[in-house]
Structure 1
């Protein structure tokens, strides 16, 4: 009996000490988490990548609570409309009486004739807009909310989404001042401003499209634009209106007769005086809030009320908890549990339009996890006002995506640089954006020989009639070898790569050479007898396969081909072997690198500098369909601008509050949609060294493609001429 009583108290004690798991993003330091978990703490840190990761962990019971901004709640609600609750909002300590974090309002003169239900009085009146700045909290959805609700959205297929927007604005407001970057590409922003100068004509400096007074992220300049009589409406933040017109001081209002000349324009078309205590706002942004699982709501509500008490003076674990949750905020606990939707609907819409100008961007994915991440990114793009919208179309492989993009069933995919040549040569795809790689994680291709062998290859010229091992036909190692061999004068300028390599070598294993996804009709099949001669027979009696059934496939396979003495040299991406080296499966000292200047490295191993490696490039890129047709160019521009906006709001931008990290892991898995080595996106005109090196690899390929296109064009012209002569005889 005593044992049973002891067991009961033991279990009760363990249960009493159960720790609640708080989502801890990277912004919370390890030291803070250690402090939180000391002593008799009832809360522990659970590391998450971002708020999306926190929402996922909350929904499946891995986490118990976390802090979410309104934007993060908005995104999480799209996936988890039930099962999670809010128990407290977190108001800034200097704005405790403010119900919302910020509110956007429209201000018009008192001479404006309001008509409930329409905004015709604004037509050709001029818009004073604060402008677009990466330094402010407002994203594109909020910055464009007023104008999109007011003007009729007409979509013209011949125009990009951004130009449709500019024309719609000009057609409705006539003139405007919209400073900053209209799109996330400086060159295209300039092009649009030059084409639609009326949208900058109300600015103090129309040539540069800026206000003289850019205080408060342009909101003060927008109010100057309104009060000077240039524009009929200003769309700005409520707090700046209060400052500008001194609305918080009754005495100042009396002295400031300007305030009586203006009024708020409401979303229903009516108006209110500036002195109203509850102005009609267009967007009311709720404060950040504490989200919890439904089954933890009751206990955490009582616990946090106690742990976050400002009167607690003891320097214990609750001090760390307050620093994590509150920072400069004060908790305002709800009297009843509140759903995400109920909380958000007090100030803004929680549902979004399902279509926009521009064709939907079809992002090709190759796994369920990748599709899930894509869906989160697509929803985040919508909540941030990024257009056109994105759909996520799942297939089962990169090559399947290549086929779908070529067949107009999909639009984009991020690929390993290893597939850059095949994407261009076989599927006629092109770069949409380059993905800048973290410098120490670039793709480095090297040529490797066995150390100490009597028949060691000591130069590229010495490779003549020798044998070689490649990870994959058409891969980046294959292309790097061909470019380097040309530079060293041992291969010709022929466009038939397979034939010139087969004629140069006596044998090779080039996995994938016989695969239809690796070849196009211009390649000669006779080269296969040489380029597949070293590949071993597989279980199904096939050979030269580009998959795991071929033990010489991939970088490890190419090195195995060299180690077995089947080949005299192997061309590999060194970083792909790091894990095998760390596990002791590969001894790097058994190999030596043949540098691109045709000399052997001084030391054994794979670590060589950029001057020795055959190529040092980015390790991935985004590709899409190549076309010179007008509608295709418009779509490509739309895709590029949307992706650059996603980079701005969900990438590595400083001080950005991103609800999901587009380059980071998702649900515990790396390299989904983008490699985790990605640090940003670069345009096709990028001058970054690793991007230039990657582009250089394809210069000869593109020359060959251009020549082939010109030849086909000339043949077509000749045939048309012959047909015409035949018809006239």
Structure 2
């Protein structure tokens, strides 16, 4: 019997050893995965969020191979330069003989001679293809030529984008540089008014664009050159071939293009007829990647699976071949390159040059978030997004808010629950709003017990007891706003006292905590903590799990005890409802107009809820609106959103709004779908802004105590434990 189990174990081990794990992003459908794992398949599928997730899993031996394009390979190289290897190229079927996916070239007139070199371009005018979402060229590629030619100079008193415009005007004199220079429309318009020379070579100077927009502006750039408006066009090589009708495979007699030539990075010149022209950037092809210690075995296996005679193929090998070759036809490499040697033939891979602008210090509250921040920061650098992002690690949200207020960090994304505290205590403001998935908006409701109905309208709140999840949270702010709108309390510069004078008691966790409260009036604190339970440490009213009335679930526990009404964020109790810790039938919503909902439970429409808003925002210090640092930060974040958010028809090396290494809500909440400017008119954002309008009346009194509060806070022990500690 013992031998039987040993044999069985060997069989199972052998079977498991034959399974090779392929990274499968969401682009690979469930039906493809089913086909891939049919029969005697030697492939198992490892779901991944993006190529960054795949690289991490391959490096950690949680996956064996995956497909990466060149930009994804560049990011993987920054973290795993020695452990990952490209083993097979994937080339477009029409370009099997091309060494690179694309090349960027500079075309100039024949009138430039070899003695002039790059200096011949001074004041000659630049014909640029422009910036558009429809092309795959990112800012690093689009700006590579101009920065190399004019030896990019950083002016510390200009924004990054204005610094670019200043350098281009200073060197080239004029240009046509179509599209959005920055993602903020108003600032983009401001820059173009200030630097009209950079639209002077466009056919349509007013709108700063070419009449010929074919091929993402590349054809317009070549028109700009050949019509003698500019002295150099920076374009993709294959568009030069189309434009000048160059076909090396079928050269037409007497069709040699004349009048123009290639300008090389070293200043040399080449005729347009050369078959392998000098290029400024040469983009490597996509590749299949594995671990270095697994490379030889994976190459052998892939050849066996994909080159087997037709009669020996199985469903899973056909499916594997189809999946692997969607990016291009398989081309086996003659020699096995390292990741660096594969990339460096066409690209700079070690970006050591410090970009322009003041660093953006992004505050993170746990180690997984810091690591994700480092991946995003590196990818932003590879995309040509400036300024540079640095990732700071602190212990909690309150630590970060304090550090930003003290200019020791610059930005962070906060839950909308911290919006009031960020403004009132730390004197911060919105940098950008985050648009939330509609079904995941923050919904604040007032809850009463269904069996008692001790409060039937807001006028009955006098001398009642209210249960809050915490002090200063979105529930607290929504409650105050509702009472103001219903004329239950008057506008004042001390809303905590106004609430205390209305009620006979409350539980407001955190109102006496030094890390997120500025309330010092003992009467106010006494009333607003009167209904809180005694904690194990003999404390009371703390914003900590030791307080059983803390948080939204805690507020409902309070309602079951001394409370008459609870103010909660309904989505925060959904898990407790699913686990049947809370029964919605026990409660009813008191609508913001003062009437009771006609049915029990928490699910009410927007008109009944006290507030329906976004659930997060990016905050930073208050700047003058003309401050270039504010422009830099906003533009960098919007470009990150453009390239790493939910951009149509594009692959993202790392997805900023999704989970990372199994952790959720890092840098941004998973519910985020985009970024919005401070002028956004989205309904949920407008509602969020309106919640804080009443703060204007109390702001002047707040500013006088902020500095004293910070001194107190520095010496205090932070009691809030990080979620990922």
TM-score (norm 1): 0.94
Which residue of 2 is the match for residue 639 of structure 1? 633
- Correspondence for 2:537 among 532, 535, 540: 540
Q: CA separation of 1:357/1:613 partners in 2, compared to 1, >3 Å: closer, same or farther?
A: same
Give 1:169 shift: 0.5
The answer as to 2:521 corresponding to 1:524 is: yes
Matches within 5 A, 1:666-677: 666-677=660-671
Aligned-partner Cα distance in 1 for 2:347–2:112: 26
Give 1:637 shift: 1.2
Aligned-partner Cα distance in 2 for 1:616–1:449: 19
Deviates more, 1:294-303 or 1:496-505: 294-303
Which residue of 2 is the match for residue 595 of structure 1? 591
Aligned-partner Cα distance in 2 for 1:85–1:612: 57
Which residue of 2 is the match for residue 562 of structure 1? 559
**3-state DSSP class of the match of 2:261?**
strand
Which residue of 2 is the match for residue 153 of structure 1? 152
Q: CA separation of 1:6/1:554 partners in 2, compared to 1, >3 Å: closer, same or farther?
A: closer
The answer as to 2:502 corresponding to 1:508 is: no
The answer as to 2:700 corresponding to 1:694 is: no
- Structure 2, unmatched stretches of 5+, are 707-725
Give 1:188 shift: 1.4
Which residue of 2 is the match for residue 291 of structure 1? 289
Give 1:309 shift: 2.8
Please tell me the root mean square deviation across aligned C-alpha atoms, in Å. Answer: 2.1
Q: CA separation of 1:538/1:10 partners in 2, compared to 1, >3 Å: closer, same or farther?
A: closer
Give 1:337 shift: 2.7
**3-state DSSP class of the match of 1:94?**
helix
Give 1:14 shift: 2.6
Which residue of 2 is the match for residue 303 of structure 1? 301
Which residue of 1 is the match for residue 621 of structure 2? 625
Which residue of 1 is the match for residue 698 of structure 2? 704
Per-residue CA deviation, residues 56-78 of structure 1 (Å, 9 max, x unaligned), is: 00001000000000000000000
Per-residue CA deviation, residues 31-61 of structure 1 (Å, 9 max, x unaligned), is: 1101100001111111000000000000010
- Correspondence for 1:551 among 548, 551, 562: 548
Aligned-partner Cα distance in 2 for 1:444–1:199: 47
Per-residue CA deviation, residues 172-219 of structure 1 (Å, 9 max, x unaligned), is: 000000111111122211111111000000011111111111101000
The answer as to 2:101 corresponding to 1:105 is: no
**3-state DSSP class of the match of 1:598?**
coil
Give 1:711 shift: 14
Per-residue CA deviation, residues 554-588 of structure 1 (Å, 9 max, x unaligned), is: 10111110012x11000000000011110011011
**3-state DSSP class of the match of 2:336?**
strand
Which residue of 2 is the match for residue 143 of structure 1? 142
- Structure 1, unmatched stretches of 5+, are 713-729
**3-state DSSP class of the match of 1:335?**
coil
**3-state DSSP class of the match of 2:444?**
strand
Matches within 5 A, 1:415-564: 415-453=414-452, 456-520=454-518, 524-564=521-561
Which residue of 1 is the match for residue 337 of structure 2? 338
Give 1:526 shift: 2.8
Contact 2:398–2:516, Cα closer than 8 Å, also in 1: no
Q: CA separation of 1:5/1:641 partners in 2, compared to 1, >3 Å: closer, same or farther?
A: closer
Matches within 5 A, 1:180-191: 180-191=179-190
Which residue of 2 is the match for residue 657 of structure 1? 651
**3-state DSSP class of the match of 1:208?**
coil
Per-residue CA deviation, residues 670-724 of structure 1 (Å, 9 max, x unaligned), is: 1000000000000000000000000000111134326877999xxxxxxxxxxxx
Which residue of 1 is the match for residue 315 of structure 2? 316
Aligned-partner Cα distance in 2 for 1:138–1:366: 34
Which residue of 2 is the match for residue 582 of structure 1? 578
Aligned-partner Cα distance in 1 for 2:127–2:339: 33
Give 1:654 shift: 0.3
Q: CA separation of 1:443/1:179 partners in 2, compared to 1, >3 Å: closer, same or farther?
A: same
Contact 1:469–1:510, Cα closer than 8 Å, also in 2: yes
Runs of 4 or more, structure 1, over 6 Å off, are: 250-253, 707-712
Per-residue CA deviation, residues 587-632 of structure 1 (Å, 9 max, x unaligned), is: 11000000000010000000000010000000000000013386xx
Aligned-partner Cα distance in 2 for 1:517–1:415: 16
Which residue of 2 is the match for residue 61 of structure 1? 61
Per-residue CA deviation, residues 122-174 of structure 1 (Å, 9 max, x unaligned), is: 11000000000111011110010000111132222222110011011000000
Which residue of 1 is the match for residue 78 of structure 2? 78
The number of aligned residues is: 705
Which residue of 2 is the match for residue 18 of structure 1? 18
Contact 1:470–1:477, Cα closer than 8 Å, also in 2: yes
**3-state DSSP class of the match of 1:119?**
helix
Contact 1:245–1:256, Cα closer than 8 Å, also in 2: no
**3-state DSSP class of the match of 2:95?**
coil
Matches within 5 A, 1:75-474: 75-115=75-115, 119-248=118-247, 255-256=254-255, 259-309=257-307, 312=310, 314=313, 316-327=315-326, 329-453=328-452, 456-474=454-472
Aligned-partner Cα distance in 2 for 1:549–1:375: 34
Contact 1:17–1:40, Cα closer than 8 Å, also in 2: no
Contact 1:93–1:328, Cα closer than 8 Å, also in 2: no
Contact 2:248–2:275, Cα closer than 8 Å, also in 1: no
Aligned-partner Cα distance in 2 for 1:504–1:12: 71
Give 1:484 shift: 0.3
Give 1:524 shift: 3.2
Contact 1:114–1:121, Cα closer than 8 Å, also in 2: no
Q: CA separation of 1:305/1:252 partners in 2, compared to 1, >3 Å: closer, same or farther?
A: closer
Aligned-partner Cα distance in 1 for 2:46–2:329: 23
Aligned-partner Cα distance in 2 for 1:689–1:555: 25
Q: CA separation of 1:249/1:354 partners in 2, compared to 1, >3 Å: closer, same or farther?
A: closer
Q: CA separation of 1:488/1:355 partners in 2, compared to 1, >3 Å: closer, same or farther?
A: same
Aligned-partner Cα distance in 1 for 2:309–2:378: 41
Deviates more, 1:152-161 or 1:487-496: 152-161
Give 1:312 shift: 3.2
Q: CA separation of 1:13/1:676 partners in 2, compared to 1, >3 Å: closer, same or farther?
A: closer
Give 1:7 shift: 2.1
Aligned-partner Cα distance in 1 for 2:412–2:5: 63
Give 1:246 shift: 1.1
Contact 1:617–1:693, Cα closer than 8 Å, also in 2: yes
Contact 1:445–1:574, Cα closer than 8 Å, also in 2: yes
Which residue of 1 is the match for residue 711 of structure 2? none
Per-residue CA deviation, residues 629-673 of structure 1 (Å, 9 max, x unaligned), is: 86xx21111100000000000000101221000011000111000
Give 1:121 shift: 1.1
Q: CA separation of 1:401/1:192 partners in 2, compared to 1, >3 Å: closer, same or farther?
A: same
TM-score (norm 2): 0.94
Which residue of 1 is the match for residue 45 of structure 2? 45
